[in-house]
Structure 1
Amino acid sequence: MSDYEKLGAFYLGKAVDGGTAAVTDELLLYDSADLTTHAVIIGMTGSGKTGLGLGLIEEAAMDGIPVLAVDPKGDLANLLLTFPDLAPADFRPWVDESEATRGGITPDELAAQKAAMWQKGLADWGQSGERIRTLKEKVDFAVYTPGSSAGRPISVLKGFDAPPPEIMDDADALRERIGGTVSGLLGLLGIDADPLRSREHVLLSTLLSHAWGEGRTMDMAGMIAGIQTPPFTQIGVMGVDAFYPPKDRFDLAMSLNNLLASPGFAVWTQGEPLDVGRFLFTPEGKPRVSIMNIAHLNDSERMFFVSMLLNAVLGWMRTQSGTSSLRALLYMDEIAGFFPPNGNPPSKPPMLTLLKQARAFGLGVTLATQNPVDLDYKGLSNTGTWMIGRLQTDNDKARVLEALQGASAGQEAMSKAELDKLLSGLGKRVFLMHNVHDARPTLFTTRWTMSYLAGPITGSQIRKLAQGKVDGGQLMVDGKTAPPPSTINLQPSTAAKPLLPPGVTEVYIPTTETGVTYHPHLLAVANVRYSNLKARVDVSGTLPLALEAGDGPIAVNWADAAELPVNPATLEKSANDGASFAEVPAPLLDAKNYPKWSKEAAKYVAASKPLTLWQDPSSGVMSSPGESEGDFRARASHAGREARDAAVQKLRAKYASKVATLQTRLERAQMKVGQQQAQAQQAQLQTAMNVGVGVLGALFGGGRRTTALRSGVSGVGRSMREGQDVQAAQAEWAQVSQQMQDLQNQVQAEVDALSGISGGELERVEIRAKAADVSILLIALAWLPFVSENGALRAAWAGAEG
């Protein structure tokens, strides 16, 4: 393992000597847990801010931590330009051909130069193509483009879903969610609305509150209808018409309707839902780096999307358990305008809440900007890490100095003059890091990024990157991937519904679409109880199974059935107007078959439909009933990281006293050298410090910088040779140095053991239901709605996507 591949450590670069500005050999390793207190990166154009941000995200990915990154300029999509083979052909599509022209070379030659440059740059920093390959294996990368189909589109305006119970039960959180949603929507209409004074804001907020209070999603059409005819008669103590006259409400409804009818609106309703959990993890539970590219949007569209996204992050955060380990990273580049010191744009309240509360849930927030004046420093009072690069003006420097002075409580004092000198001498890619978890600020230079920095990625380039990256081909029901109920054939259909004989129960799967064709299926709704004392499981639930019946003697084979994720309580008794119907196979028209099929369904469920759980053998964590494998993998991964971080802290505490004891012995041995050898004494003091840091470096402790133990040990010999008559001291130094080496070996062995705390293969646990614990609540002919598209059928029941 490389020196920088420490547990929970982010390899950001190397320390810089503040006096000489020389790069040292000391690695700058940043504790991932420190990021739960958030971070801010400040630096002018050309300071290396983008490289530092990408390096930070790369390190999070290497540690299996998912990242949600907002990208207003298009720089962060460079994270997808990772080439393990470092071949010129990989770089060729991404080089700037105008740069080749200016240099008098061909684009192929420029690509070869870039490949060689990246290979050398990585090697100089102890990295290689293999580390890039590991990065690509550990996480999934995706580029989303709200309001555009260049990357993965996001369905933001299809509907405003009711928040989870954690928010509905918290009055303050619900008020923030409603206020942020309405402010963003009105901003999209060009209305700068005060939440307390604006009639538009109050009316829309009341409509959302009313719908969400009933557990309903409010779509745009419903909102327009609600504006014209509100489902309540009063707002506060005033009548609706007195508070907001119908004529004025009609104007607001027309504005929303014009937005709905605009040519560019459709793309805002297409794509993946605004689901933060899905942005952070794939359906299989693999960590994901999701880049929200908003470079193509205008200012009002950016503000709308960012405010909606931040509110969604708040909602997701409140569904998570508390933790002291880093669970996920929210990174926002070019924060200008979204978190200003003055004013209160829709994006600011949720960001303030995140900075105040996200730490408790393990969500780290990192903000980056070119200009210090873009930031609300009072809002950043909860930010634990500042990384400051070259600044553009003296005013910028003065603003940062003021903020750093206020953020230095509890740290070893550094005068304003010292900070001023350091900030004034910063070179390219050199940053001053102020971390409240460290004793003093640290000067460092950033490492070479694994991602190729091609500059801002354009829409056409994003299309190229997105090819083959979109989850597709699978039916989505209620936001979860599910197989279709069976292979549907394009059977002849008729406008008239087939007549059914007495005794045959029929139900309809609800749909909101028009022009559907209903296809007949056999539906069995089983009530099942799964009980297992060892697994501590005792749950009951319904299991709807649907399949197509054939015309042969064996018309029904329950092994061909698929789970139909539709709430049985929502089944309807009649069809939609204007629907057509497929032919019904003869066996489904015989009422005598249904009791037999009901018994067969019960036997099948007991024998072949166990409750599947997963267990992480390394941590012992087991999934909950109803939790998907992907969701559990994400939870188990974090549980392993929590166990690892706790074990590292325990080792730090265990060995800190031993290191302190050995260092005390070193100092005593040094005192024997004599007062007359002050120069030698000073060298030995530094050596003692280096040895201690080297030991704790394996644990990633202290000031986050590591120096190899061998450097300290070799320094012992050099410093001892400078003394006179130090035979006894040398002997003691040698003895203590060996003890230090033995301690280092012991520490490293225990650290290596911690690497296996999590990340193993999951064990599948199946709990079968007893026959007596299975009953069939409903056996019926079910009409499933489908729509024909391009010669294939798409499921059209409520909540389905495909």
Structure 2
Amino acid sequence: MLTLLKQARAYGLGCVLATQNPVDLDYKGLSNAGTWFLGRLQTERDKARVLDGLEGASSTAGVIFDRQRTEAILSGLGNRVFLMNNVHDDAPTVFQTRWALSYLRGPLTRAQIETLMESRRAAAAELGEGAASFPRAAVTAGASGGIRPVVPPGIEELFLAPSRTVGEGPLMYRPALFGLARVHYVSSPANVDSWETAAMLVSAADGLPDDVWAEADSLDYDSLSFEPAPVGEAQFADLPSELTQSRNYSSWKTALKNALYRDRSLSLYECKALKEKSAAGETEGDFRVRLKQRAFETRDIEVEKLRQKYAPKLASLEERIRKAEQRVEKEKEQVSHQTLSTAMSIGTTLLGALLGRKMVSATNMSRAATSVRSATKIAKEKSDVTQAQENVETLRQQLAELEQQFQTDTETLKASFDGDSLEIAELPIKPRKSDLTV
């Protein structure tokens, strides 16, 4: 394919290339295309690839390429509206197509047309019965009748496709000022890089206010349908004098850019507790659902951190309690041993005194003194046991208090990450003024 695009022209061979994914094509190959028919492009990458190809084709043909203007035209293409770029023309052309009656067959015969329209005649007859409830607009005073007003040269004139109307009255076109802009929202902290199409409409049936865009209606551009020409036998309201002066349109264009920069902010949502921001186009409800899941995950992480913080303290107290309990057992063993030893010493002393020749002798006195010291030591050992037991109780109390503090901190932490109680604030992002195209 790339070889055909690059070399077929040298052999007098024409090529037609159709694609829905321009980004998949080599822009060097695209630059060999002489005539382009471009519809609405869905992604910025596709648009960038097409613009690169157009720029290359214009450069090859020696034609000056206005990239910014072409990008603005591509961004504003509606349904069944196309841009034709011919390298031999001075400027690109915007045109509109209509739905064909048949995609597969050639000219229809009169009999075939009657067959195709048979069901539509029946529907139209049924619709005509309710004409009174959907009357067409009557011609009012001040209308220009069947004369179509003339707009200044260079001003694009669009006709909004009429809704379903029935009745005998003529269709009435009333003037309005329509503004179309591409708005770019960029914010590194919010991780936003989003484009929007702004469609603004101001009724001019009774003239235009000084601040022309202050009370403009913001429309969904994708739902609008414009016609290149009015329907036959339509009536036209008078065109206000402001709309007949071409110099006004430049000031209205600047005013629209200023109004969009001032008033059309992108509303995001921010949760400072979780350091989270909503994405462009994400509703508050969707953002809250995402925050709840994020809160659960963050809560589990923070609880684990808290557990790791308390773990060394709890382990240290448990180890101290274990050692203190060992000390109590050791002191009890010493008391038991000392009691037995003292009893034996006292018994030996009494026995020696009873069986010995002398009641008062050096040996008996020494044994008696030893027995007294042993009794004193027993009292001291019992005191040590009591102190050791009190130490164990103190450590156990400290452990219970630490565990209670851990539970309290855990509950407080969980409450702070309750998804239903998280505070959400609105975060407006202003458009980048240098990227506003009207």
Per residue, is there more helix in 1 or in 2? 2
* TM-score, normalised with respect to structure 1: 0.25
Bigger fraction of residues in strand: 1
Instruction: Give the greater-gyration-radius structure (CA).
Output: 2
